[in-house]
Amino acid sequence: MSEVKVVDNRNDRDKKLNIFMWAFMVLGALFTLFLIWKKDFYMENSDIASDMILGKLLSQEGGILSKNWFYSTELHVVHTQLLYKLLFHIWPDNWLMVRLAAAVVFLILIVASFLFMTRALGLEKEGLLAASILTWPFGQWYVRIVTFGQSYVTYFIIAFVSMGLFFRAVQGGKAASAKNGDSASDCTGGNNIVVLGIYGILLALISFVAGLGGVRLLMICYAPLFATSLVVVLFAHFAKFAGWNGAKEFGTSAKAAFIYALIPFAFSCIGLGINRKVLCNKYHFQDQFRETWRDFSFSRILDTLSDSLTLFGWHAEVGFVSWQGLINCLNFLLIVGIVVSIIYVYKKFWRFQPIVQLFLVYAGVLTLITTVVLSCSNKYYSYYWLPVIPYFLVILGLGVFSADDNRTHKSVAAYIGNYRNVVCGLIAAAIALASVSVYADPNPQDQYQDYAIVDAIEWLKNSDYEQGFGMFWSSNVIMALTNGRIEMRTIMDVDHIDDLGSEYPWLQEVRHTEELPEGKFFVIVSARDYDLGNQGSAMIFGMSDHLVYGNDSAYIYSFESMDDYVNARNALW
């Protein structure tokens, strides 16, 4: 009877924990939407705004790609602009509503695709814990790039779906059971072949379309996956050679892993080839293959690895003894917990089911490749680690839920297992408080952003201007925060806006490089780009008769026409 009671208590505890994690997930999504609604005006920047401008353009042109747009380093074939395009038909003049609605859709898709992947591994509880964290704005870069900016959100979704298909295919078309790793569904004989064929076709199609857009998904998903399959095949071959019977089960999936990793790798390469040989001649985007390697350094490797851990909510540039500083202390414990979980999980690697072992190999290979590439690349930002973060969260979940709470030997693992509800509560508290800290100060330290011009943008919102010129970090953000009423042209030089060659071929309409505007317009000059008021910095500062707005962060000059601008500039000569 006592054993039955223990089982009942454990089941009751698990049910309560599941309810808690679902509630925590929903609360995180609501808090994220609240943050977007309240902080949009202060978080918007020209990089983030460009996808919405493209979505607005596509809503007018139709189609999924535009020849009238300067893309960045990637041709976003399947990206956020497709959803923005649809939403602009509903809210054509409310860009904040479009961003909020898109955030709802993308949060649902992130959770659904992530759980699709983790359930293929039989890690339902671990996946639920990790997914509940992903809905929260727990880090400044995570908010900027994923939940608010939505720049990486499609990469997350496509990678999760691809990995979910891969793990199911490797198991013969089955998903692992959460309890014992066996099949969660009966899928045998001819039906099994059909299902495997469907998985293979879906992997091929998804990876091909991903490759059409550029190299990113190849680098953060398909290449590491293929490298993982090679590691597994090599290990299986060595295990057979060495006669390691204990590793036999792990090796049985090696051939399937190789086949189903090769399919997306090959098709993404084919898509990338078409991107570089065909699409580059039809659309405007820059080549990512210009990046170069830098000197190898172990110190940079350590710095790069530490950057990955700071993305879990560590808030820089806050008072050491302040409420945000105290939250950092709690966040430090979370980081320690993640590191300890990684060590603990890999230490007991052989106790997991083969499919979970395969996932752990993939996570390790992905981390290794990411570390080497980022530490040895001449172009590096800490947010490049974001696609790896969800897999760390799964390992954190494994550390929590694989701890045995039914051992006669009382160990730390048994203690954590016995009080895993409390541990999950502490993790939730760390994530929630980190999110509150982000809400108070959502913008990461970034030398490229220009948040000081918000007062100038507020002034422009109340003006009657419909056309303007500005440098990149001033232009697109103005268009977004005025709901598209002001059409901005991005320039490289404020003193030669009459020269079409001064238009910046980056994240703006191509027609801006083909025709000058007619009628009244303004030029905004930011302190980020020029020494305000110093005519030696820019000639436009000599046109004081045209100055209509000025403060410490920006000057705005008004002209009735392009001829008016040219005459005012020539008068300075």
Q: Which CA distances in Å does 6 have to 13, 52, 368, 400, 408?
A: 10, 54, 42, 19, 14
pLDDT at position 180, please?
Answer: 46
Pick the residue with more confidence: 292 or 425? 425
**pLDDT at residue 357 greater than cutoff 90:** yes
Is residue 248 over pLDDT 70? no
pLDDT tier for residue 65 given thresholds of 50, 70 and 90: very high
Contact between 496 and 502 under an 8 Å Cβ cutoff? The reply is: yes
Q: What pLDDT, on a 0 to 100 scale, did the predictor assign at position 413?
A: 75
3-state SS record for 298-323:
HHHHHHHHHHHHHCCCCCCCCCCCCH
Q: Which percentage of the chain shows pLDDT scores above 90?
A: 71
CA dihedral of residues 334, 340, 343, 347 (deg, nearest 10): -130
Taking the C-alpha atoms of residue 512 and residue 70, their distance in angstroms, rounded to an integer, is: 10
Tell me the pLDDT tens digit for each residue of 76-126: 899 999 999 999 999 999 999 999 999 999 999 999 999 999 999 999 999
> Over the Cα atoms of the chain, what is R_g?
26
So what's the pLDDT on residue 445? 74
SS3 550: strand
pLDDT in tens, 159-185: 999 999 999 999 987 776 654 445 444
Closest CA to 151 of 430, 507, 483, 489: 507
Share of the chain above pLDDT 70, in %: 92
Share in percent of the chain as helix, strand, coil (round to 5) = 65, 5, 30
Q: What is the pLDDT of residues 514-555, one digit of tens each?
A: 999 999 999 999 998 898 878 888 999 999 999 999 999 999
Judge whether residue 295 has pLDDT over 60.
yes
Q: What is the DSSP string of 391-454?
A: HHHHHHHHHHHSS-SS-SS--HHHHHHHTHHHHHHHHHHHHHHHHHHHHHS-----TT--GGGH
Q: How many CA atoms lie within 13 A of 429 on its CB side?
A: 12
Asked whether residue 288 carries a pLDDT value surpassing 80, the answer given is no
Q: Residue 404: pLDDT above 70? A: no
Q: What is the chain's mean pLDDT, rounded?
A: 90
- Give CA–CA dist 27/19, Å, rounded: 12
Looking at residue 192, its pLDDT comes to: 83
> Quick one: average pLDDT of 192-221?
95
Question: What is the reported pLDDT for 500?
Answer: 93
| pLDDT for res 523 | 97
Q: Is the pLDDT of residue 501 over 60?
A: yes
pLDDT at position 184: 42
Judge whether residue 45 has pLDDT over 70. Answer: yes
pLDDT, mean of residues 420-424: 92
Question: CA 42 → CA 222, 411, 457, 478, 486, distances in Å?
Answer: 36, 49, 11, 12, 18
At position 10, the amino acid (one-letter code) is R
pLDDT single digits (tens) 116-140: 999 999 999 999 999 999 999 999 9
Check residue 177 and give its pLDDT: 62
Confidence of residue 200 (pLDDT cuts 50, 70, 90): very high
pTM of the entire structure? Answer: 0.93
Mean pLDDT of 48-55: 96
Q: Which pLDDT band holds residue 452 (cuts at 50, 70, 90)? A: confident
pLDDT of residue 14: 83
The pLDDT assigned to 179 comes to: 47
- Bridge partner list, 284: 70
Which phi and psi (to 5°) does residue 183 adopt?
-65, 140
For the chain, domain boundaries: 451-572
pLDDT at 342 over 50: yes
Q: What per-residue confidence (pLDDT) applies to 369?
A: 96
Mean pLDDT, residues 38-46 taken together:
90
Mean pLDDT check: name the lowest of 45-59, 417-431, 444-458, 485-499: 444-458
What gap in Å lies between CA 387 and CA 292, rounded to an integer?
A: 22
> What is the pLDDT, as a whole number, of residue 208?
98
Q: Are 470 and 526 in contact (CB under 8 A)?
A: yes
